[in-house]
């Protein structure tokens, strides 16, 4: 490749003392050329974002370069003083971040935040900046740009905010765009749109793009070249087609294999097709209370939802944010009270129960939450956290703690883990704790709400395996809520697709995934990144 824009040579970044390893990045070498999208792939902790931060001069405190160079058009960025480096940022190197929810200043209008880029580099007057911001918003395809320019971030959706971020990063037509997991926090359909936008803008402007991701599906969608990183080192580097088609390194192969494939496992026969959970015409409307002068707002989260879940079955509820899938799960464990309809668990109407009767029944349904970081009390030892449920249900403390140890054994952490605090565990381990906690009350049904969404693919595969294993051993039933149709196809016997609080389609995993009847399901499937690539490979 000619026209190298960025050339990272033997870059080594040292972590502060006491970190779990010495180097955030070790001897990293790769180039990014004009007109290409270089995907840097790795799991969390692989150091994939570190080089990008070094390019921007935005390394976290304590991380410092000890060796190597970063050549931007032949100039070593590591040797620049802060002032010169600042002049490059925004002007010649733009950056997009992962979290569109937090990456914009909540107190500034979108237009002003874009205009700030021009201001930072002393370009144009105030009026021209606003005009430029408007045309940028048009370019990134925001609906009603003249309204969006006056909007505060909280008034925009995740995808719209990410478009604002992109408009900001591209304002001064930088030669290099760094995108750090820009679509990870978005719904699949939104993700597909944003990926298309980035690819489109990249081609139109012939930019060099450094795209950081953990998702090989995304890589397959947009990468020209790929750099796979693990524990701070480059494992494999090459053309996207080579790496995806014929990965050399074992780690790369395991990452690609860990992506849930398009092949759907054959349906299992359920031995005992007796319904465990029957949901009948469930409705739930959220109302924001209006004031004297303010109209109240209504969001229909569940609209006449009915389905059954047989004993020993895994049913997946799939949908994008706002589809009502989480509300469904919360209603089943009665964290939320449905407005109308029935929730029959083994013939007992859960939705009608109150007070003590509800307390007695609710242990039969337990939940595994999405965020393994936020769902455990940081000040409670893991063993006690698991034992609290049984203790509340009258099991003597010593016995409950002993059971907690056994459960930790069962989920593969070992009974010794009981004495430790949540922060001592990784995300995947915490999710195992979450599962142990859900199991502590011997439930018949487990509701897993996006239980693997926050995890790396390899860890995700392990957790799914664990759930499958436990399900068999303990003869559990599973309600699996996810935004990821592919994961659902792997683990579920039946899949329910939801949109705007309604069930759009339901059927066996094979039916829904391989021959969807509804347009929306097809749309969801088409939006899955890397699907075209894999279809070709199969």
Beta carbons of 276 and 310 less than 8 angstroms apart: yes
Q: Is 69 in the site for other proteins (CB under 8 A)?
A: no
Q: Out of 13, 32, 70, 103, which residue is the one contacting other proteins (CB under 8 A)? A: 103
User: Which residue in 510, 450, 452 sits closest to 262, CA to CA?
Assistant: 510
Based on CB atoms, which residue is closest to other proteins, 104 or 228?
104
Please give the backbone phi and psi of residue 533, each rounded to the nearest 5 degrees, phi first. -60, -45
Q: What share of the chain is helix, strand, coil (3-state, %, to 5)?
A: 40, 25, 35
Based on CB atoms, which residue is closest to other proteins, 152 or 421?
152
Which positions from 28 through 57 interact with other proteins, judged by CB under 8 A? Answer: 56
Q: Is 87 in the site for other proteins (CB under 8 A)?
A: yes
Q: Out of 17, 18, 74, 106, which residue is the one contacting other proteins (CB under 8 A)? A: 106
Q: Out of 58, 357, 374, 474, which residue is the one contacting other proteins (CB under 8 A)? A: 58
For other proteins, which stretch binds (CB under 8 A), given 206-214, 241-249, 287-295, 424-432?
Answer: 287-295
Q: Is 124 in the site for other proteins (CB under 8 A)?
A: no
User: Which residue in 379, 449, 439 sits closest to 409, CA to CA?
Assistant: 439
Q: Out of 10, 66, 102, 131, which residue is the one contacting other proteins (CB under 8 A)? A: 102
Q: Out of 47, 65, 68, 90, which residue is the one contacting other proteins (CB under 8 A)? A: 90
For other proteins, which stretch binds (CB under 8 A), given 114-122, 192-200, 400-408, 516-524?
Answer: 114-122
Q: Is 194 in the site for other proteins (CB under 8 A)?
A: no
Q: Out of 86, 363, 364, 381, which residue is the one contacting other proteins (CB under 8 A)? A: 86
Q: Out of 269, 293, 356, 398, which residue is the one contacting other proteins (CB under 8 A)? A: 293
Based on CB atoms, which residue is closest to other proteins, 113 or 191?
113
Q: Is 126 in the site for other proteins (CB under 8 A)?
A: no
**Could you tell me the smallest distance in angstroms from the CB atom of residue 170 to other proteins?**
12
DSSP 359: H
Please give the backbone phi and psi of residue 47, each rounded to the nearest 5 degrees, phi first. 80, 20
**Could you tell me the smallest distance in angstroms from the CB atom of residue 91 to other proteins?**
6
- Number of residues this chain uses to bind other proteins (CB under 8 A): 34
In order, the DSSP letters of 38-63 are EEEE--TTS-TTHHHHHHHT-PPTT-
Please provide the distance, in angstroms rounded to a whole number, between the alpha carbons at the two ends of the chain: 31
Q: Is 94 in the site for other proteins (CB under 8 A)?
A: yes
Q: Out of 3, 62, 73, 105, which residue is the one contacting other proteins (CB under 8 A)? A: 105
**CA gap 463, 294 in Å, rounded:** 46
**CA gap 246, 17 in Å, rounded:** 38
Q: Which residues contact 93 (CB under 8 A, 6 or more apart)?
A: 55, 56, 72, 174, 175, 176, 177, 178
For other proteins, which stretch binds (CB under 8 A), given 33-41, 129-137, 292-300, 474-482?
Answer: 292-300
**Could you tell me the smallest distance in angstroms from the CB atom of residue 68 to other proteins?**
22
Which stretch of DSSP H or E encloses residue 344? strand 340-345
Q: Is 64 in the site for other proteins (CB under 8 A)?
A: no
**Could you tell me the smallest distance in angstroms from the CB atom of residue 454 to other proteins?**
17
What's CA 488's distance to the chain center, in Å? 15
Q: Is 67 in the site for other proteins (CB under 8 A)?
A: no
Please give the backbone phi and psi of residue 173, each rounded to the nearest 5 degrees, phi first. 50, 60
In order, the DSSP letters of 495-508 are EEEEETTEEEEEEE
CB atoms within 10 A of CB 298: 11
**CA gap 105, 56 in Å, rounded:** 19
Q: Out of 107, 269, 347, 394, which residue is the one contacting other proteins (CB under 8 A)? A: 107
Residues in the chain: 538
**Could you tell me the smallest distance in angstroms from the CB atom of residue 221 to other proteins?**
24
CB atoms within 10 A of CB 209: 25
Q: Out of 104, 277, 315, 385, which residue is the one contacting other proteins (CB under 8 A)? A: 104
Q: Is 99 in the site for other proteins (CB under 8 A)?
A: yes
CB atoms within 10 A of CB 527: 18
- In this structure, are strands 340-345 and 348-349 parallel, antiparallel, or unpaired? antiparallel
**CA gap 290, 287 in Å, rounded:** 8
Q: Is 16 in the site for other proteins (CB under 8 A)?
A: no
CA atoms within 13 A on the CB side of 248: 12
Q: Out of 17, 127, 204, 294, which residue is the one contacting other proteins (CB under 8 A)? A: 294
Q: Out of 25, 95, 445, 452, which residue is the one contacting other proteins (CB under 8 A)? A: 95
**CA gap 464, 469 in Å, rounded:** 9
Q: Is 209 in the site for other proteins (CB under 8 A)?
A: no
User: Across the beta sheet with 23-33, what order do the strands follow?
Assistant: 23-33, 4-14, 64-72, 75-76
For other proteins, which stretch binds (CB under 8 A), given 101-109, 203-211, 274-282, 387-395?
Answer: 101-109
**CA gap 92, 207 in Å, rounded:** 11
Q: Is 120 in the site for other proteins (CB under 8 A)?
A: yes
The angle formed by the CA atoms of residues 394, 412 and 453, to the nearest 5 degrees, is: 90
Q: Out of 2, 17, 292, 538, which residue is the one contacting other proteins (CB under 8 A)? A: 292
Which positions from 151 through 180 interact with other proteins, judged by CB under 8 A? Answer: 152, 154, 165, 168-169
**Could you tell me the smallest distance in angstroms from the CB atom of residue 61 to other proteins?**
9
**Could you tell me the smallest distance in angstroms from the CB atom of residue 419 to other proteins?**
31
Q: Is 291 in the site for other proteins (CB under 8 A)?
A: yes
**CA gap 293, 301 in Å, rounded:** 25
Q: Is 72 in the site for other proteins (CB under 8 A)?
A: no
* Residues lying near other proteins in the complex (CB under 8 A): 56, 58, 86-91, 94-95, 97, 99, 102-108, 116-117, 119-121, 152, 154, 165, 168-169, 288, 291-294
């Amino acid at each position: 490749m000619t026209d190298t824009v960025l050339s990272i040579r033997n870059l080594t970044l040292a972590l502060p003392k006491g970190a779990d390893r010495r180097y955030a990045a070790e001897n990293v070498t790769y180039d990014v050329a004009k007109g290409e999208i270089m995907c840097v792939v790795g799991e969390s902790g692989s150091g994939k974002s570190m080089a990008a931060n070094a390019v921007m001069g935005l390394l976290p405190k304590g991380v410092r370069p000890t060796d190597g160079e970063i050549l931007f058009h032949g100039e070593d960025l590591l040797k620049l003083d802060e002032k010169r480096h600042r002049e490059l940022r925004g002007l010649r190197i733009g950056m997009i971040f992962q979290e569109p929810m937090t990456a914009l200043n909540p107190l500034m209008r979108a237009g002003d935040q874009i205009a700030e880029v021009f201001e930072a580099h002393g370009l144009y007057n105030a009026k021209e900046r606003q005009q430029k911001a408007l045309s940028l918003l048009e370019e990134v395809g925001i609906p009603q740009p003249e309204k969006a320019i006056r909007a505060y971030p909280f008034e925009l959706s995740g995808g719209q905010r990410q478009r604002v971020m992109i408009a900001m990063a591209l304002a001064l037509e930088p030669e290099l765009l760094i995108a750090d997991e820009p679509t990870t926090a978005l719904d699949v359909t939104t993700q597909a749109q944003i990926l298309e936008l980035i690819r489109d803008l990249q081609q139109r402007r012939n930019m060099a793009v450094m795209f950081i991701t953990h998702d090989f599906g995304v890589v397959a969608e947009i990468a020209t070249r790929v750099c796979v990183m693990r524990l701070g080192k480059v494992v494999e580097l090459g053309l996207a087609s080579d790496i995806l088609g014929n990965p050399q390194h074992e780690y790369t192969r395991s990452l690609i294999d860990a992506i849930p494939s398009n092949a759907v496992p054959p349906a299992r026969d359920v031995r005992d097709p007796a319904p465990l959970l029957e949901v009948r015409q469930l409705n739930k409307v959220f109302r924001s209370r209006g004031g004297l002068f303010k109209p109240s707002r209504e969001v229909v989260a569940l609209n006449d939802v009915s389905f059954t879940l047989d004993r020993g079955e895994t049913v997946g509820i799939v949908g994008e944010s706002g589809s009502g899938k989480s509300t469904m799960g919360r209603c089943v464990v009665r964290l939320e009270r449905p407005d109308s309809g029935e929730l029959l668990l083994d013939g007992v109407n859960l939705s009608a129960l109150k007070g003590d009767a509800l307390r007695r029944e609710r242990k039969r349904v337990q939940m595994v939450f999405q965020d393994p970081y936020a769902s455990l009390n940081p000040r409670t030892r893991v063993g006690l956290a698991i034992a609290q449920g049984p203790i509340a249900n009258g099991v003597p403390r010593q016995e409950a703690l002993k059971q907690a140890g056994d459960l930790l054994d069962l989920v593969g952490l070992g009974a010794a883990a009981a004495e430790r605090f949540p922060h001592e565990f990784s995300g995947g381990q915490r999710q195992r704790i979450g599962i142990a906690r859900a199991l502590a009350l011997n439930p018949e049904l487990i509701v897993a709400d996006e239980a693997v969404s926050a995890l790396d693919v390899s860890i995700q595969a392990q957790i799914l395996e664990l759930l499958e294993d436990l399900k068999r051993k303990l003869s559990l039933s599973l309600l699996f809520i996810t935004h990821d149709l592919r994961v659902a196809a792997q683990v579920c016997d039946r899949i329910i697709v939801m949109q705007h609080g309604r069930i759009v389609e339901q059927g066996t995993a094979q039916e829904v995934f391989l021959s969807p009847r509804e347009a929306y399901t097809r749309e969801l499937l088409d939006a899955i990144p890397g699907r075209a690539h894999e279809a070709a490979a199969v």
